Structure 1
């Protein structure tokens, strides 16, 4: 297990009463990265310090310094000269002592009264923080091992590390391409290419490790990966950090995860190329799914680049879950011989474009099999198929519809593990209401088309039966619903026996496959009958 070091920067975050002064001629950012082992206090008799192993904070209380002078052992200047060549990290002194700073010595300057128990306080704090780091390191080691053994890929590895400290991680190659990321950082790179290349060259020292991008601060380190292409070397792993808090836990996660990434890829250039190509392809697909392209022509060109015929009818399949790591789990479960264009579209969402009518049935079966496999460990997972749209430029509308239905299902408004937007019984009134709410009607020519399709889906089998048999199942259903399901009143209006009415309602259930005792089904049928009444009235001329 990688052991994290505690640095001067960490100590200054914990002890706000200390002011730091780097050694003369030393860069402050580099000095703050110096590690700390323990605190020791100067003695008033020879030897004035215990054996130093390196990394100590030497505490110099003013009273002890005064006693050293009284004993003619030396003053502040003598002490600084004595320690200048020692492997200590810094001196903890009062403001008066700080006036004697010489090259080679870093100072932690107290404010107010010098603490009488400074050594004990510092060592207790260091012990507590090391215990916490050991706990985090042990938990992280178990999580990384499980992710590596599972074979789920780099995204799953970074997700497991992210879960330990609730920080996002990204892995980028030397050109800035996103090779992998934890789920909260999907579809975006953390660091600009210039920052990555400076870090890989090591020209800016420790300063290159900290970057703030769009208000988010990242701590980064190179990862020893080689992707096999001329002129390309290395990758960078970055973790999101607080701009104002200590970062010892994040450094531990970064170092330990980097080691796991190197081990997983085994210096394998082919693995890096595959991850980079997958990330680049998903970025192209995401542009289509989110409607980011500036024109229909640009969308058509992007579709052709992805092997999609932009003139064909297209649907979107959306896998949605509230649990983490869904995109990487989907990628690891999809058939490897199928190159369905897909991309992560949210923390727990992965969308695929279905653009080949000849393979639509097989695509649906394959994606359904993926959903069933994932559902064994994620029972809440949903699979949603959008309605058909025409043209690559309209794929974003299909995604929006699928996401809306997934959200309705997640809050219990729609029921089912697999939801087809074209299934009126499953989507119910939401299939009619969504276009009004969203202001778009996908590939429908008009609202009338959608209303007619809704009514036909529910009443079509009954209308066909009535035409063929010269029967009255539709009027029977209408009368029964108008009387709130009361057999006696409906039978009286229709002038038939109650048993005859009950028989007809049984035939309605047989032909439609619906359960008339379900209140939701009754509402759908009432709306469908109202649509037919409106059609008849408006078309009577």
Structure 2
């Protein structure tokens, strides 16, 4: 009876194996192929349920990858991480499937009720209702054991050698399916990797060609001497970005493009991290530094012309001259981060910008030397020896000395020239006519065209000098107006005398001696110590009276002299009764022992007040 069925059984097995092989070759999903293996175990061998289980990558437990006849709840229960542990703590948690995997051999259980060594079965078998099972390992050449095939029967039964061999044959088919899937995944990974590599090579070649084009363009710009504005425009075009060059004080030297320009971070943003940290590190790193993201929402294009998102990166590159930070090159670009090649292009432009800044600095140095020589000739004792020549040289530097000029003296303590002074003063005066600046007799002489706004310019310059040169103290004296070349010398000596007087007492601050009258001659020639001693001795009793009694003798005296010694005019100015003014004037005469009816007394007191005002300028 068995012989006639053999060909049919063989044909069934061959058909089943062929079906599984075709599924593998057709690259069907692995879980579908394994489900076919489980189904064939039930049909060909006569099991009620079957599962193909694979080990998890971490090697801790088995999970069901394909099944036939098992309920969803049972599959979920068996696949739980704490269910079929490959290396359980003891027999109470062990299972035939785990032992078959560990030992690499087939394990059979004829009746789960008499298999105490597999404690896990007492929990699992009742959930599905099986009484016997067989578990065969999945062996893959070169890959070890991948999992197990477990077939179940609802009745207790033994397993003959033929059944064991058939289950192991199906396990081999399942192993072949797993290995084929692994190889196919590896091939796909290789194909994807090759595709990505080719794409990266193409992009790298395109970026390299772009960088070479920018280098050639940069060399042409250098040879054509396009200047700072031309360099900035070219870089902005190359990067599809906004580019700004600022000097070390934050003054914009050049920017581009004209349309759609995006400025660098403002002063408030630069005080916050990460911009502040990036700027602090610029003098230590000669490279492009990303400082933040501009989220203005304006779309842009990347350095190679591709559309990008709406968030724009912001970078800054140092412009170094003589190992010192001379300027900053800002790039506000529509890319989150430039490629390394693009960063090198920015750094090359920063180097050329440094050369341009150095050239401008050299021009400034030459101009400062010429201005210093011109100021020295202008202030020559007795007036310039060649007035017309001085006027012509000043005109060549952009200054019309035929116009009235205010002569200002700026002195530093400790004394000595400072190259930054010219730069700072010109920056403060950028909204007005530029001054002629020269260093003469250990002070800086500033000749401003007569006009409004001078006080604001000098206060701004003085504040900036305190920031830039904290180790120096600056004293400024605003001298008389010089109507022509011959007037500059006397006006300078008056302003210099005021500075000398101020520095002898307490350096620093601004004093104004534009309208001194006769006292200007004493400032021009008088020694500072002598003038201070004269003023102190003459005004000492009046000052002591005011300090002791909180009086107003000094303000009254100053107002009375300014009002032409008119008691009624002084009373109106101070909003007091004329008798009060008369009483105070009499008190001053009594304290000083001098009559204010005498013109020489009034002149002495006016000079003493002037000296006191210069020495104490800026005090409350």
Higher relative contact order (CA 8 A, sep 6+): 1
Tell me whether the two structures share a fold, i.e. TM-score over 0.5: no
Give the TM-score normalised by the residue count of structure 2: 0.30
Q: Between Structure 1 and Structure 2, whose CA radius of gyration is higher?
A: 2
TM-score (ref. length: structure 1) = 0.33
